[in-house]
Each structure stands twice: as C-alpha cells, then as structure tokens.
C-alpha cells in the first residue's frame, strides 16, 4: 500500500517529468516545399508600454535569421519603405496583402512579430528584465504560413539572490532594477529571445537556409522524433 510520502514523491517526479518534456516538434513540410531564400522582418506589433521594444527586437532578429542561412532585407530600408508609402503603424503594415509585399520587396517570406513582454519589472524580492516574442513566417508567394514559434528570455536566469537574507534580496532586486533600466538590459535579453526563437540550431527553430553549410539537413526537432 502506498503511503503519503510515496504518493507525494511520485507526484513530484511526474511533475518534473512533465516540466522537462519538450513541446511537440514542428511540421516542416510546408517550409521544405516552399524552400525560401529571403526574409523581410516586418515592424513588430508591440503589446507592451515600452516604445523602444519594436526597434530592439526587430534589429536583434537579423542575426539568427542570417546565421541560419537566409538573406535578410535591411530592417532600416524595409521600415523606411513602409513610411514612404504612408504606413507608420505596425498594425497597418501587417494588414498589407502578401502579394503586395512580394511585389514591392521581391522577398520569398515575411516574418510577422508580436512583442508580448519587454522591460524590467520589480516584484517585492526580485527584479528581472524579460522579453517574450511570438512570430510566424509567411510565404509571400502563396500566403501560406511556413513556421511559427514563441520564446522568452529573462535576466533572472543569470541572477543569484540566495545570499544576504530577505533584506539582502530586497537590496539586490532594487539594484538590479536600476541597473537594468539604465543600461537597457532589454536589448541584450531581446538577443537571447531572438536566438531561442529563430536559430536553426535550436529545437523548433527555423530550418537551415540555402546560405548555411547545413542546408538540407534535418532540424534539431526532427532529429528527436
């Protein structure tokens, strides 16, 4: 007969097992069939009060996409093109028909981004700068969604507030908040989030593009199937 301790241990083990289980692997069938070579990064929808968030996130997404083997249109040029055509709001840009985007830029795909969290928060005994972003890659030739994902990164992953007791934790949290706000820690965390979301070397990231030496090889999530 199981006692309370045994049942509690079993429940904890089941919970831990559930925590480490990876999410379902992406179906890359449409992505492989489309075989995109180029990407335009559209101005992100910003669901946060931080006005700097779209610029920070958009610029940090260039590197992981390019390093995955795709040509990325210069984000400044893309944004200026939209502004030159009277589109100054991200929500309006996201409503532009895909055929029109393809005609203007000649890109194979567009990355649609939504910023769900950005900035530094202070909660009693902890302070963190976090960035959460969701995105989808859409084929501008067919309008088909080829990939979608979501990722989060936080400065709390790098912090250690174990010493000094409650007062020490409060002081450290306050210092972290001031330092991360003044130095715009969000820019650094946005880079971490972008890599986790888009890199071809991470689980459920983009496929390897034609400029990558790994082009045509299975994605990490496919290897785990």
The proportion of the chain whose per-residue pLDDT surpasses 70, expressed as a percent, equals 74
In a domain, 18, yes or no: no
Model confidence pLDDT, tens digit, residues 81-108: 999 999 999 999 999 999 999 999 999 9
Separation between Cα atoms, residue 180 and residue 5, nearest integer Å: 43
Q: Is the pLDDT of residue 166 over 50?
A: no
In a domain, 14, yes or no: no
Expressed as residue numbers, the domain containing 99 is 25-213
In a domain, 223, yes or no: no
Residue 150: exposure state from Cβ atoms within 10 A (0-12, 13-18, ≥19): middle
pTM for the full model? Answer: 0.79
The tokens describing 107, both together, are 């890109």
Separation between Cα atoms, residue 3 and residue 102, nearest integer Å: 65
In a domain, 16, yes or no: no
First-to-last C-alpha distance (Å) of the chain: 37
Residue 127: CATH number of its domain: 3.40.50.10610
In a domain, 57, yes or no: yes
Q: Of 114, 184, 194, 110, which Cα lies nearest the Cα of 152?
A: 194
Q: Is the pLDDT of residue 196 over 70?
A: yes
Model confidence pLDDT, tens digit, residues 115-148: 999 987 655 445 678 999 999 999 999 999 999 9
Q: Of 213, 222, 196, 193, which Cα lies nearest the Cα of 56?
A: 193
In a domain, 109, yes or no: yes
In a domain, 161, yes or no: yes
Q: Is the pLDDT of residue 221 over 60?
A: yes
pLDDT value at residue 2: 41
Please tell me the total count of domains within the chain: 1
In a domain, 180, yes or no: yes
């Amino acid at each position: 007969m199981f006692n309370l301790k045994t049942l509690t241990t079993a429940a904890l083990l089941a919970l831990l097992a559930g925590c480490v289980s990876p999410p379902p692997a992406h179906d890359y069938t449409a992505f492989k069939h489309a075989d995109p070579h180029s990407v335009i990064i559209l101005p992100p929808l910003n669901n946060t009060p931080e006005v700097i968030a779209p610029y920070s996130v958009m610029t940090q997404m260039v590197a992981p996409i390019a390093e995955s083997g795709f040509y990325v249109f210069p984000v400044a040029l893309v944004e200026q093109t939209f502004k030159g055509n009277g589109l100054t709001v991200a929500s309006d840009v996201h409503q532009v028909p895909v055929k029109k985007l393809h005609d203007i830029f000649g890109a194979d795909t567009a990355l649609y981004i939504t910023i769900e969290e950005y900035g530094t928060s202070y909660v009693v005994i902890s302070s963190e700068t976090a960035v959460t972003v969701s995105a989808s890659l859409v084929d501008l030739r067919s309008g088909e969604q080829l990939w979608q994902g979501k990722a989060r990164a936080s400065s709390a992953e790098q912090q250690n507030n174990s010493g000094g007791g409650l007062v020490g934790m409060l002081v450290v949290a306050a210092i972290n908040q001031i330092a991360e706000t003044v130095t715009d820690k969000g820019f650094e965390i946005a880079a971490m989030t972008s890599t986790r979301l888009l890199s071809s070397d991470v689980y459920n990231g983009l496929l390897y593009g034609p400029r990558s030496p790994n082009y045509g090889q299975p994605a990490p999530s496919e290897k785990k199937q």
